[in-house]
Structure 1
Amino acid sequence: MIGLISATAAGEAARDRLAAAWPERTRVYDGPVADAVRRAFGECEQLVCFLATGAVVRLVAPLLADKASDPGVVCVDEAARFAVPLLGGHGGGANALAGEVGEVLGARPVVTTATDAVGLPGLDTLGLPYEGDVAGVTRALLDGEPVALNAEVAWPLPPLPFTGRGDRRVRVTDRAGEPADGEVLLRPPTLVVGVGASRGAPVAEVLDLIEGTLREAGLSPRSVAELATVDAKSEEPGIVGAAARLGVPVVTYPAEELAAVEVPNPSAAPLAAVGTPSVAEAAALAGGGELLVPKRKSAARPAMATCAVVRRPGRGRLAVVGLGPGARDLLTPRAKAELRRASVLVGLDQYVDQIRDLLRPGTRILESGLGAEEERARTAVAEAREGRAVALIGSGDAGVYAMASPALAEASDDIDVVGVPGVTAALAAGAILGAPLGHDHMSISLSDLHTPWEVIERRVRAAAEADLVVTFYNPRSRGRDWQLPKALAILAGHRAPATPVGVVRNASRADESSRVTTLGALDPATVDMMTVVTVGNTATRIIAGRMVTPRGYRWQEDSK
């Protein structure tokens, strides 16, 4: 919950705007300001104070207890110009909250945390449990000193400027143990503990078994991702209670699914009780992984619980990102976030140049020239399969004549794939021309490098006969100068010479140019590969110099 505190009418107005935007996330604290801050500090995970920073410093100073537990505090000035994370920038989420507040109120986030200021992800912001000298290792990264990365298990980390050597290091591990001097341990959730339990098994017995098993195997309980069991035990108090103590979910599987999992230690007892010869081992292995600890029984007599431990390595992550038509303000916030999250960027060299300044220090860039789309797709998928966070970029929307298709053709279910939409060339050009796509429309690429011309021509004829607005991608190059005239001739067989045609070159870029002409007047020689050509349907009109395709025809008939 986010506590909202204000002292003046101006502050209340901004406060109420935030409360209206986030009704489920916020709680307004009225009354004397000092009392309101005190109550909110004790009851909320985060605070937004519409007060001067100095006033908030004095109010919260006596309340500070521990960096790990204090709430994040954001200050917003009376004019709602700035959102300042004052306390708990990372651990309390104040930096991220300041950005969210800024989006709602139009305020500028003022983030002073050192890592954020230079574009480095904080070691305490990676969403992983951590131990050790976070401050010292972070300072070394900021100062450009050598910091080594020792990844004992694969996990898709964001980019960090690690070197192969150094007195300080970051170790990604699910093994038990204390960090050495100058070391940070990151604990990824790689361990799945399969649990079986008799009816009425005590929480203490289940928990003692799990913790003892992990301890003897040299594994960290902070890397346990979930407890897994059979559906019939989904509400077994001992299992549910142990999961709550460990702070992890309980995942269950049908007995018939577990019965199909090959295990080293099947037993007749669980088969008779719940319909599968294995619960602990089978449930742990059901999602894949390496069996680290075979089935073990609790020490109680009679034993009422069993467990087994599997390591399930982190899955690589492939984000296929559409960069839009080129203008920075048409690059979506989601795309920017994925670019900053990726430790590996794969893309066409000219597209990489567009967004190079958005990448975090330490991002590994794999760029290549024109005509290597399939190679780039294979490279991106291979990097993700190594457990890395990868961004594969394409212009416009990555799913429209771009990189998503070849990448997804290569990818299997062993990696996570995220699609990030972008503004397509057709949409960017349409906005410049007016509203040519106001009714049914289609896009056709005239490049026959990957599609036979006979197929392209059949599609153009179908669009002509269906009276669809058509946007032509890749309309004309030096080596392909006859396809556009042929396509226009096909359309001309079904549409009048006065049919509006829009021509946009380098939409949204500095050298953008556009014009509206007609099907009869368009000179194909003025078109190149940087151009998008949009041909209207029989209802499209030129109104005040802009192309307009009505959503329906009645209003057009009435206006005649």
Structure 2
Amino acid sequence: MSGTTNNDGRTRIWLVRDSALPLGERLRDGLGAILVQPWLDEQESDGTAAATSQRERFRAAFADANRWVLVMATGIATRMLDGLPHSKLSDPAVVVVDEAARFAVSLLSGHEGGANALAYEVARLTGAVPVVTTATEALKPLVVGIGCRRGVSVDQIEVAVKHALAGRRMDDIREIATIDLKADEPGILAFCERHALPLRVFSHAQIAARPWTSEPSSWVRENIGLDGVCEPCALLAAPRGSLAVRKTALNGVAVAIAEDSPDWTEHV
């Protein structure tokens, strides 16, 4: 999973009602996607008939995209998808996001098809929590929080992360976490791309509400208005974990590592 956006025209967003249009437009613009508003062509006045028509239209369009974002309840999505999936190696990636953009759920073709990565893309665009349940990602115990000066290179970030890992395996990293101010930082994005890692982004308000920082930084306080970035980001992204590596700063890059409790992963 990486931090790149698919702009090949085969990402589609399906809405079930016009109240979700602002969210759909934000996703369309952020993902370079086609926005589908099926009610525009529906002539039925009966709600049941209209729902049936939506299911039929979705079934006909399902294979035309390689990535779907369904803005609806998971129950509706499950009924619309009934009978369509054939193989995780060929099915389109499907992510479901509720209209309040609280959760972005990787529902179909998570690892092989790219739905896990798509869930993180949707989460970064909307502030939703990405929900990934595939064992390949879910059982990786480490989350790396990163804060950095503007313009640091991918190699600077690489050296700083490896220094903080101190012998831990890069393959055990589940995701990278940072503040929304760094969501488009080229070095962080390139590092995620290099190691196929998803990027989790937290807002200033989310971090301020849970400012877990072992060593407050006067520079961060003066420039961002927080006591720290890397430690609270790592801990926010690992709610069942604890801080395994406190903030380490190297060449303009601050790194902290949170690790899931061994007792938790052993019983999953």
TM-score after normalising by structure 1: 0.25
Q: Could you say which structure has the higher helix fraction? A: 2
TM-score after normalising by structure 2: 0.48
State which structure, 1 or 2, has the greater radius of gyration over its C-alpha atoms.
1
